[in-house]
Amino acid sequence: MRILLTGATGFIGRAVAQALEQRGHAVVRVQRRAGAPGQEVVQADYAGVPSRDWWLTRLQGVDAVVNAVGILRERHGQTFRALHADAPAELFRACAAAGVGTVIQVSALGADEGARSGYHLSKKAADDVLRALPLRGAIVQPSLVYGPDGASAALFNKLAVAPVLPFPQGGRMPVQPVHIDDLVQGIVGLVESPPHRIETLAFAGPRPLPLREYLAELRAALGESGRQWIVPMPAPLFRLGAAAAGRVPGSMLDGETADMLLAGNAARDNGLARLLARPPRPPRDFIAPAAREAARREAVLDLWLPVLRVALAFMWFWTAVVSFGLYPVRDSYALLAQVGLQGAIATLALYGAALLDLLLGVLTLASPARWRPWVWLAQLALIGGYTVLITVFLPEYWLHPYGPISKNLPILAAILLLWALEPRRA
């Protein structure tokens, strides 16, 4: 079969494309950029809502269409209305006009009459258009999807390895996560043997379970020992934190996703189990034993690196406050005199260093990604320089019982770790 696949570069789309090709199907990828050598690609931007007429010529010779476009948050001109509702509706109508045999729409669990969020309402709008057309196929409504390289998997792995986790309702909201492999197998099965009319099928895991139990199963799958303590927190406080997180670039959490999480995500009638003719994979089997340690390390780094950045920022801020006068200025001048700095040069060194510390604190928290490697290198140079100067002029501080200089060594190691983990530009 020749299958047109939208959202081909996304988490679900990539997995569907690979599975279809392994089954011998020809996949026409719809994506914004050119494809890899040997791939048949149609370049299109869903944000621009390609029209029904535009699609007609590109659907010639296509046996089936799988729409896997989806965003969790609106950003950079990509809106729910355009990507989830208007653009798919134009594609579905073009499929009906072009005589495409099968259409599979990847929607979302919760895109029903009870939908309240912009995410779910926009998915439902496209689903309703597809249901009204004379086509074969299905509307697939997945629950939380877990899989390697998935943003959702990374988030829940990170939550799972936290020793203490404050959460509304004590984490008792129901979820029914599904593994990407089961989801893809179900989609491929629908492409190859589609229903004679558009059916709506929930794709979820084997059973609903409280979120706290899901995290416990992931924690065990990651090989993390010890119990996780989930502390109930007020829902308004959680929403407030989510709204703040929504201002951070790349964050999955904002006010709307917080509300969706609080509402739970479980299926009344799981169509995936019938389609697979077996129970879907349970969360305790989501992570292969061979991948366990790598996944655990990634989750631990995802959890604690932001904490490390905040701790370093606090160190720089506190050093600036101390230098500006919390520590007696007279004593600061006495220390500078031992290094050979006096008068106006000592004043410049004292307050210039304090301003530099303050700047480094701000940059540690708020510098753009492209600046961060240089921020870490500047910190390494500054702390290394301080350490050398004190070693030369004030060597007795190495013997201080509180270790004010020896403590620079683990700080340098922590900054080196942050620098080493920054993505390298090609």
Residue 418 has pLDDT above 90, yes or no: yes
Residues 41-69, mean pLDDT to the nearest whole number: 95
Asked whether residue 124 falls in the same domain as residue 39, the answer is yes
Q: Mind listing the pLDDT tens digit for each residue in 360-386?
A: 999 999 998 889 999 999 999 999 999
- Two tokens, residue 302: 């995802």
Q: Residue 408: is its pLDDT beyond 70?
A: yes
Q: For residue range 63-108, list pLDDT tens digits in order.
A: 999 999 999 888 888 999 999 999 999 999 999 999 998 999 999 9
Question: What pLDDT, on a 0 to 100 scale, did the predictor assign at position 325?
Answer: 87
Region 33-61: mean pLDDT is 91
Domain containing 363 equals 303-420
pTM attached to this predicted model: 0.87
CATH, residue 204 = 3.40.50.720
Q: Which one of 250, 285, 320 terminates a domain? A: 285
Same domain, 270 and 346: no
Contacts of 263 (CB under 8 A, 6+ apart): 110, 116, 173
Q: Is residue 21 part of a domain?
A: yes
**pLDDT confidence of residue 264:** 85
Q: Tell me the per-residue pLDDT of 130-181, one tens digit each, with 9 for 90 and over.
A: 999 999 999 999 999 999 988 889 999 999 999 999 999 899 999 999 999 9
Residue 152 lies in a domain: no
Residues 108 and 29 in one domain: yes
Long-range own/partner contacts, residues 374-383 (CB < 8 A, 24 or more apart): 376/415, 376/416, 376/418, 376/419, 376/422, 377/419, 379/312, 379/415, 380/412, 380/415, 380/416, 380/419, 382/356, 383/408, 383/411, 383/412, 383/415
In a domain, 191, yes or no: yes
For 49, list phi and psi in degrees, rounded to 5: 50, 75
| 346 within a domain of the structure (yes/no) | yes
For residue 244, what pLDDT is reported?
84
Q: Are residues 272 and 316 in the same domain?
A: no
Given 219, 252, 285, which residue is the final one in a domain? Answer: 285
Q: Is residue 271 domain-shared with residue 364, that is, in the same domain? A: no
Which of 285, 318, 347 is the last residue before a domain boundary? 285
Query: How many domains is the chain partitioned into structurally?
Result: 2
Instruction: Please check whether residues 383 and 311 belong to one and the same domain.
Output: yes
Does residue 99 sit within a domain?
Answer: yes
Q: 268: pLDDT confidence band, cut at 50, 70 and 90?
A: confident
pLDDT of 215 > 70? The answer is yes
Tell me, what amino acid is at 326? L
- Residue 426 lies inside a defined structural domain of this protein: no
- The string of pLDDT tens digits covering residues 221-234 is 999 988 899 999 99
Tell me, yes or no, whether 99 and 200 share the same domain. yes
The answer to whether residue 163 is domain-embedded is no
- 109 and 141 both lie in a single domain: yes
% of the chain beyond a pLDDT of 70: 99
Cα separation, 246 vs 252, in Å, equals 7
Residue 129 lies in a domain: yes
User: Are residues 186 and 324 both part of a single domain?
Assistant: no
Query: Residues 294-301: what's their mean pLDDT?
Result: 95
- Regarding whether 347 and 309 lie in a shared domain, the answer is yes
Mean pLDDT lowest for which of 51-55, 149-153, 297-301?
Answer: 149-153
Closest CA to 186 of 104, 72, 100, 283: 104
Same domain, 193 and 272: yes
Shared domain for 269 and 340, answered yes or no, is no
What does the mean pLDDT of the chain come to? 93
